[in-house]
Chain A
Amino acid sequence: MKLTGAEIFIECLKREGVKTVFALPGGVVLKIFDTLYQQKDIEVILTRHEQGAGHMAEGYAKATGKAGVCLVTSGPGMTNVITALADAYMDSVPVVCFSGQVPTNLIGNDAFQEADNVGLSRPCTKYNFLVKDVNDLAATIKEAFYIATTGRPGPVLVDIPKDVSMAKAEFTYPNSVSIRGYNPTYDGNKWQIKQAAEAIMKAKKPILYVGGGVIFSGASQELLELAEMTQIPVDMTLMGLGAFPGEHLLSLGMLGMHGTYQANMAIHYSDLVIAIGARFDDRVTGKVSEFCPYAKVIHVDIDPTSIRKNIHVDIPIVGDCKTVLRELNQILRATVNGEQKDLRKPWWDQIREWQQAHPLTYHQEKDGPIKPQQVVKRLYELTKDRDPIVSTDVGQHQMWAAQYFKLAKPNRWLTSGGLGTMGFGFPAAMGAQAAFRDRLVLCIAGDGSVQMNMQEMATAVVSKLPVKIIILNNGFHGMVRQWQDLFYEGRYASSYLDTTPDFVKLADAYGAVGLRVKKVGDLDAVLKEALATDKPVIVDVPTYPYENCYPMIPAGGCNHEMILEDPPELKKKQSGAAKVTPEDKDTVLTA
Chain B
Amino acid sequence: MEHIISVTVENKFGVLSRVAGLFSGRGFNIESLSVAPTLDPSMSQMTIVTSGDERIIEQIVKQLNKLIDVIKVVDLNETEFVSRETAIIKVHTKDADRAEALRIVDIFRANVIDSTPNTYTIEVSGDPKKIEAIINLLQPLGIKELIRTGRVAVAREPVRSTAIQAKKVARD
Contact = CB atoms under 8 A, between A and B. Distances in A.
Interface of A: 118-119, 122-123, 126-127, 130, 147, 179-182, 303-305, 308-309
B59 A181 contact: no
A180 B59 CA distance: 21
A96 to B, nearest CB: 15
Given A123-B25, A147-B68, A181 B62 contact: no
A127 B21 CA distance: 13
B55 A181 contact: no
Given A122-B18, A123-B21, A308 B58 contact: yes
A181 B10 contact: yes
Given A180-B10, A308-B59, 6 more contacts: A118-B14, A179-B68, A181-B10, A181-B67, A181-B69, A304-B65
Nearest to A151: B66
B162 interface: no
A302 to B, nearest CB: 11
A6 B14 CA distance: 25
Interface in B14-29: 14, 17-18, 21, 25
Interface in B40-77: 55, 58-59, 62-63, 65-71
Contacts of A118: 14
Residue from the set B10, B21, B66, B67 with the largest chain A CB neighbour count within 10 Å: B66
A147 B67 CA distance: 11
B71 A305 contact: no
Contact of A308 (B10, B55, B71): B55
B62 A305 contact: yes
10 contacts: A118-B14, A122-B17, A123-B25, A147-B68, A179-B68, A181-B10, A304-B65, A305-B63, A308-B58, A309-B59
A180 B67 CA distance: 11
Pairs A-B, 7 closest by C-beta atoms: A305-B62, A182-B68, A181-B71, A304-B62, A127-B68, A181-B70, A123-B25
B45 to A, nearest CB: 14
Contacts of B71: 180-181
A304 B67 CA distance: 12
Contacts of A303: 66
Interface residues of B, number: 19
Contact of B68 (A123, A181, A308, A309): A181
Contacts of A308: 55, 58-59
A118 B69 CA distance: 14
Nearest to B25: A123
A51 B55 CA distance: 36
A130 to B, nearest CB: 8
Contacts of A122: 14, 17-18, 21
Nearest to A156: B68
A123 B22 CA distance: 8
Q: Which one of B17, B59, B68 has the highest number of Cβ atoms from chain A below 10 Å of its Cβ?
A: B68
Contacts of A119: 17
Contacts of B58: 308
Nearest to A129: B14
Contacts of A127: 68
Nearest to B18: A122
Given A122-B21, A181-B10, A304 B68 contact: no
Nearest to B66: A305
B17 A304 contact: no
Contacts of B68: 126-127, 147, 179, 181-182
A130 B67 CA distance: 17
B69 to A, nearest CB: 6
A31 B160 CA distance: 64
Contacts of B62: 304-305
Nearest to B72: A181
Nearest to A130: B14
Contacts of B66: 303-305
A308 B53 CA distance: 13
A122 B14 CA distance: 9
Contacts of A179: 68
B142 to A, nearest CB: 41
A181 B34 CA distance: 20
A126 B22 CA distance: 12
Nearest to B71: A181
Contacts of A130: 14
Nearest to A306: B62
A365 to B, nearest CB: 50
B110 to A, nearest CB: 39
Q: Which of B14, B25, B63 gathers the greatest number of chain A CB atoms within 10 Å?
A: B14
B108 to A, nearest CB: 40
Contacts of B65: 304
A157 to B, nearest CB: 12
Contacts of A147: 68
A199 B63 CA distance: 29
Nearest to B8: A181
A15 to B, nearest CB: 22
A118 B13 CA distance: 11
Contacts of B25: 123
Contacts of B21: 122-123
B76 to A, nearest CB: 19
Nearest to B54: A308
Contacts of B55: 308
